Every structure is written in structure tokens, then in C-alpha cells.
Structure 1
Amino acid sequence: MDHSQMDHAAMGHDMAAMDHAAMDHAAMDHATMDHATMAHGGEGSGTSRLPANETMNHGAMIGLGGETTLMVHGYAWGVYTDQTGPRGDEKVYVQSMAMATVTTPFEGGKFTAQTMLSLEPAMRHDGYPNLFATGEVAYGQPLVDRQHPHDLFMELSARVDLDLAPDVTAFVYGGPVGEPALGPSAFMHRASARYNPEAPITHHWFDSTHITYGVVTGGIAAKSFQLEASAFRGREPDEHRWNIETPKLDSWSVRASFAPSPAYLLQASYGHLKEPEEQHPGEDENRFTASAHFNDGKELSAMAAFSSKNRQPGETLTAWLGEVNWDIDRHHTLFGRVENVANDELFPDHLDPLHDRKFRVSKFQAGYAYRLPLGPANLALGGTIAAFAKPNALDAAYGSNPMGYTLFAKLSFGD
């Protein structure tokens, strides 16, 4: 993965310092751009791809001698959330992330090493309120209506790219902490979600593997396509988030990505995960995802995605996700997310009469951000509002009309 040209990856995609309206990416000659600046189009998290129009570089670049470069990003994101109803809660919390990438070209290829870190383990293990979100555990209990914090080590990886032909490379990626070739680029790495402070409630359908302890991926990449396969640890991270867990290679995945033009990226992937969830011991998972990303290179980015996860043994649970981000002008941004998911983890208590029952829930979220450039940093101030559609059987637990509200201030550096 050529992180030296990553634009939106990992640092929240804060584009406050860029006047998109003045840029015409359609006129850019991608074929003539330098390999070290733009390899094969947009790069997302791990080895995932994004539309080539998401490749503008906003990292702070530091020369380390010769052609070796260091790129750094970072953000701190203060959030207040109020989730209403009997299961709701409120909280003030801070999300954070820092990324450093070293890139060294050599004759016939290039070497890249990357680390991503977060101080979110300083939160309580149960993270922040997020109605209808499920996945992972905290304090010995399954997380329900909560989103867990990220680990201190979000990525410790390296990648080698070898030129096979003009615009065609073979690559090997891996490390003790990384992301396998499964699903679309993780939610905090894509432009369509860059100002949304909440993880999708479908996170554990699409991109829960974006922090995986033990990954090896090999593939072939060209300007318009990428084919890859991974071996990785299937178990999700535990609630102790300051450490590095023992790497394993007990699961596998394959992914194909296709970019018909600089504005579009299509991906489909399939994986077999060995006992991914602590609350479902002895159950493996077969996961399929497909997604379509769009970025016009100016002000509009969007994604639509589908996923199904089939527990072995167990039911097949499906999810849909749509996201959009519109930079109206230099300062004003509107964004939104729509999700629909079939979830059977909302009642983890085995004595509850609704335990293991599958409920299909929808979430509708809209948000606004006001962006301010502050020299080398960028500040975004905004908020979101969310409403839900659910079966009447959930009224006793959630109320007839639960809502979600957030206010945020996001300070980004080098992006």
C-alpha cells in the first residue's frame, strides 16, 4: 500500500484546507503521475482501494534522505453524544489517531512501513453509547448499544511492491497488527464518512477486521484492478486494548477490486473467520461483502455496500449501508448515513425471552460540519441527529421513538 499518497486514510479525511470547487480531477492525467505519488489509484485502509479521486496527499511530508520519505497524520476528536430511550446513555469522549508512514523506493519496486496508534484505550472498555450497535465484549459482558474503543496499536505493518510491467505490481503486505483483504476500506478511512463521529451499527458486518492481530496478504495490482488473498487471525481484539495480542493465521479471505474510472471503485470479498466473536465460542463465520464507492474529485463522495455473515453453525445475517459527504464550499459540509441490519445480539441474556431473536433495524443519520483551516491544522465543528426504524417488539426495550444526537470538534494535523 502506497501510504505516501493516501489522502483520506486514517486521519478522518478532514479537507478543510482544500478548495474542492477549484480542482478538476477529471482533467488530471493519472497515467503520467509519478509512481511514488500515485500508485494504482486511491488507497484505503490496509490494502483496500478507494476511487483514484481520493488520492490527494495531505500528510505532512518529511524527507529522510535520498528518496525516503516520512508522512504523518493525526487527529483528536472531541464528541458529546446523547442516545435517548430506556437503553440510551450520554457521554463526552475523545477519539484519536496518529499515523506515520515511511516509504523507500528501490530499483524495481518500493518498500513501505506504517504504524497507526490511538489513545482511545484510555476510555472505559465499553466505549461510547451507540444505539443498536453490537460486537465484542467489555467487563465480561457482550457490548450492546455501545461502540468499543480502538486499540493502541491499530496497525504495525510493512509492504513490498515489485514492478511486473508498466502499471502492474505484485505486492506482499503483513505484520503483527494489520487488516486483511476483506470488506471495503474501514469507515474512518473513507471520504464518505470523514466527519461522522459514530461507527456504523453495521461495523461488525463490513470492517470489523480493520484491526487484526496477525495478517499476511499477497496480490497483484494494476491501475484498474486488484486481486488479493489474506491469511489472518479471525478472533476480534479483546477488551484489553493497550497490548499486542498473539498473532495467528487461522482464517482466510479473498478480494477483487475494480476501478472503471478515477471516480469509481467496486469491490467484492469473501472470507472465512475462525471463531471471530468471544460471545459466540465455537462458531466460525463466512462473510461476503460488496461495495461501490464514488468520488467526483471535487465535493461529493459516497458509498453503498452490502454484507452477509453466516455463522457456522447459525443463521445468515445481512446488512446494507449507504454514506454520502458533500462539501458545499470551502467551509460547509453536509453528510449522512443510512443502515439496515438483521441483528440477533440485542438481548444477550439467555434468560431474556428475546434472546437470540433476529430483528431488522434501520438507522437514518444526518450531519453538518463547519470547517476552519488553522495553518497546518484543520478544525471541524458540527453535529449529527439519528432516528431509527424497528419492530414494535423492541418498544419495551428501546422506547417508541429513540433518537441519537452528537456534537463534535475535530482537530486534524497534516490532513
Structure 2
Amino acid sequence: MAALMHDGVSGTSRLPAAGPPMAGLHVMAGDWMLMAHGYGWGVYTDQGGPRGRDEGFVESMAMLMAARPVGDGGKLQLRAMFSAEPLMGDRGYPNLFATGETAGGRALIDRQHPHDLFMELSARLDLPVAPGLTGFLYVAPVGEPALGPSAFMHRPSARLNPDAPITHHWFDSTHIAFGVMTAGLSGRHWQAEASVFTGREPDEDRWDIERPRFDSWSLRATWLPDEHWSASLSYGRIESPEVLHVGEDEGRLVASIAYAAPGFTATAGWSRKQRIPGRALQAGFVEGNWAIRPRHNLFGRVELVDNDELFPEGDPLHGRPFTVGKATLGYAYELPLGRAAALALGGAGSAYAKPDRLDAAYGRTPLSFSLFAKLTLGQPAGLR
């Protein structure tokens, strides 16, 4: 069954083969391998400082996959991914220093937007083209182009972190694009691919499927030297991604590296977002998850980002870039619920670095914490 599944579940990205397999329920139906995967988070967060808010919310994702052999050595995979996050409202949830997308026609600041009902609807066909060489085609009315690392909710290094990265819109904001086509070649230790896709980020109607435009493109090269490592370099030219900045395109250069070994996973990345026309803004992150003992996990993330969207129009600091950082450390205890599910209980705390110029808006030393319960379909590798 495993041979039918790819070592990544985020568009066509590749994760280290030694990483933990995705938790889920598997069933064989003739030549088809069927898999159901999903999770739901119940989170209470208290984001510190004058701009912070305390709030409870629910994050969720459900994925259905079907895969089967095709021809002589080929395979077909169908994938559908959904989220109930539109139910939380268009303002999403508090996340200090996070920006991107809109609610009520206004830019979201210090909040993480909800994801759409349709996160992915895709088909992928892999066919051998020469000894040790496979060609593939990925087509998705809703999907993810070949740009950046695996989206944060699919990275094993972030699987127990309840916070979306504040660098999300520098690395993986294209993970829900309405219209994607990717073609590529993969060998044993490498993959090269190109995508055309819709650059505009999802609008505020989180329930629909938007019209594809195929107005943007990206290229990505991935190197997998062994089962423990995966490194990628990608570039994307994105047309008018932000609805409030019509006519402002983006050139995004992203490098990332992931490592996996039994009980430990980590990912690091750097991104340069060039506004066209406009300035260049950089971001970086390092994150990891360490199973220190069976059922006991430590996780964390450190981020640094240049952000010029922290103040709304009309504010004297609107459009000014500031370099801000966030460091998160957390713990989670996992326990199996029968054979079909697992529950993780934990919490995380975050501290921030920022210029003194931001003290009036954010306070001198804002601190945040979150408590959560995460229910997962299937059982993580450490609990099996």
C-alpha cells in the first residue's frame, strides 16, 4: 500500500522518506487503496499586549485519498481536502504579528484567516518514462503549486503546534490556489517541476470554488540525498495576490530544508518576497517536533520576518516595514483512543522580538500562550 502513496501530502512537495507516515485509516477496495485522514483542534489562546485577544476557536481538516496502479509501473492518486474553518467567521483567530487576506473588506492584522471549505481537489498521474525516471502531472481545481515547502499543517515538524506561522504569507500562502497545473520529473534523489496557477489568494467567501485564472507560474527543484533529508529551491511569479493591492505582483524566492529521524522532525526555510513594484521583504523560520519519550512531545518554532502590513491605512506607520520575531515552545501528551483515533493535550507559550517603535501598539514585552486538545483520525507512528 505504501508504494502507492507519495512522501508528501501537500500538493507535489516532497518530505524526507524517513519521516513519520501520515496517521489515517486505510482500506483496500480491489486495486484501489483508500485513505481517510483528518484532525480537529479545540484551542484557547491568550495573545498578549494591547493588540492581543483571548479567544477559543476550532481548527479542522479532513482528507480523502484514493490511489491505484496504472499501466506498467504507473499510479493514479485522487485527493480531496476540506475544512470547517469557515464556521469560525471571516476574522479567523488571534495570532499576534500575523497578517494576510481580508475580513469585511479590511486587512487582517494580528489574526490568522480561516481556511476555505475546499482546500484541495486534485488528481495526480505518475508514469515511468525511463529507467529510474518518472514523469507526473498534477491537475487541481483547488490545489497547491510547486512553490515553497510543504504547507505548515502538513509538516510533521509542526503537527502539534496550534499556531499558524507568522511567516505563512512568505512561504506557503499559495497552498490553496483555485486552479493549478503542475508537470514534473522525479528520480531517486531529485525532483524538478513547474506550475501554472491562480495567483489571487482566496476571497472572503470561504465556501465556494473560485474561477481559475492560471495567471501565475512557479518552478521548484528538490534534492533528496537520502531518506533523512529533503531540500528545495523554488521561485514563483504571482499576479496580484492580495485583493487590497490590485496591480501589485510578487516575485517569491524560497529555500527550505527538512530532516526526519525516528522521534524527531525539523524544517527550516528562508524567503524573499519582492513586491512588483515595491520593496523586498525577507522571512525565515526553524521549527521542530521531538518525541522525548513515547507519548511525550516537545515542539517549537522560531521566526523572523520583515512586515509592512502591521498598521491599517490612515495610520502614520501604515506601509512602514518592521522586522519582528516570534519564538514558541510547547509540550503535548498523546494517547490512543482505540485503534481509530488519538488525542493530544498540550500547550505552548510565545515571546516576541520587535523594535521599540512598536511598544505603543504591542506593549514592551508581549507574551502569549495557548492550550489545546487535538483529535486525530488514525494514530501517529509513536502510538502504534
Verify same fold: TM over 0.5.
yes
Structure 2 SS opposite 1:54: coil
Q: Which residue, 65, 73, 76 being the options, matches 1:111?
A: 76
Asked if the contact 2:305–2:323 (Cα under 8 Å) also holds between the matched residues in 1, the reply is yes
TM-score of the pair, normalised by structure 2: 0.96
Following TM superposition, the consecutive aligned residue runs of length 4 or more in structure 1 with deviations greater than 3 angstroms are: none
Asked if the contact 1:43–1:55 (Cα under 8 Å) also holds between the matched residues in 2, the reply is no
Counterpart CA distance in 2 for 1:244 and 1:271 is: 23
Q: Which residue, 355, 361, 365 being the options, matches 2:328?
A: 365
Aligned to 1:324: 288
Structure 2: runs of 5 or more not aligned: 380-384
Q: Which residue, 203, 218, 227 being the options, matches 2:192?
A: 227
Counterpart CA distance in 2 for 1:202 and 1:255 is: 19
User: Which letter maps to 2:117?
Assistant: L
Aligned to 1:311: 275
Q: CA deviation at 1:284?
A: 0.3
Q: 1:87-115: CA deviations, max 9, x gaps? A: 11111111111100011212131111100
User: Which letter maps to 1:263?
Assistant: H
User: Which letter maps to 1:50?
Assistant: L
User: Which letter maps to 2:240?
Assistant: E
Aligned to 2:150: 185
1:207 matched to 2:172: yes
Q: Which residue, 366, 378, 381 being the options, matches 1:414?
A: 378
Counterpart CA distance in 1 for 2:140 and 2:269 is: 27
User: Which letter maps to 1:326?
Assistant: W
Moved more, 223-232 or 99-108: 99-108
Aligned to 2:315: 352
Structure 2 SS opposite 1:261: coil
1:154 matched to 2:119: yes
Counterpart CA distance in 1 for 2:131 and 2:24 is: 27
Aligned to 1:385: 349
Aligned to 1:93: 57
- The 5 A counterparts of 1:1-400 are 5=2, 35-36=3-4, 42-54=7-19, 56=21, 58-65=23-30, 67-108=31-72, 109-296=74-261, 298-349=262-313, 351-375=314-338, 376-400=340-364
Query: How many residues are paired up?
Result: 377
Query: Do the aligned partners of residues 85 and 55 (structure 1) sit closer, same or farther apart at CA in structure 2, a change above 3 Å counting?
Result: closer
TM-score of the pair, normalised by structure 1: 0.89
Counterpart CA distance in 1 for 2:20 and 2:162 is: 22
User: Which letter maps to 1:148?
Assistant: H
Counterpart CA distance in 1 for 2:21 and 2:132 is: 19
Q: CA deviation at 1:55?
A: 5.7
Counterpart CA distance in 2 for 1:94 and 1:234 is: 28
Structure 2 SS opposite 1:50: coil
Counterpart CA distance in 1 for 2:121 and 2:40 is: 20
Moved more, 105-114 or 376-385: 105-114
Q: 1:348-396: CA deviations, max 9, x gaps? A: 22x2111110000010100000010111100000010000010000000
Q: CA deviation at 1:44?
A: 3.6
Q: CA deviation at 1:56?
A: 2.7
Counterpart CA distance in 1 for 2:357 and 2:139 is: 45
Q: CA deviation at 1:167?
A: 3.6
Query: Do the aligned partners of residues 289 and 392 (structure 1) sit closer, same or farther apart at CA in structure 2, a change above 3 Å counting?
Result: same
Counterpart CA distance in 2 for 1:82 and 1:210 is: 27
Q: CA deviation at 1:261?
A: 1.0
Asked if the contact 2:147–2:174 (Cα under 8 Å) also holds between the matched residues in 1, the reply is yes
Q: 1:217-246: CA deviations, max 9, x gaps? A: 000012210000000000000111011111
Q: 1:102-134: CA deviations, max 9, x gaps? A: 112121311111000010000110100000000
Asked if the contact 2:23–2:377 (Cα under 8 Å) also holds between the matched residues in 1, the reply is no
RMSD: 1.1
Structure 1: runs of 5 or more not aligned: 6-34
Counterpart CA distance in 1 for 2:359 and 2:244 is: 25
Structure 2 SS opposite 1:43: coil
Q: CA deviation at 1:58?
A: 3.2
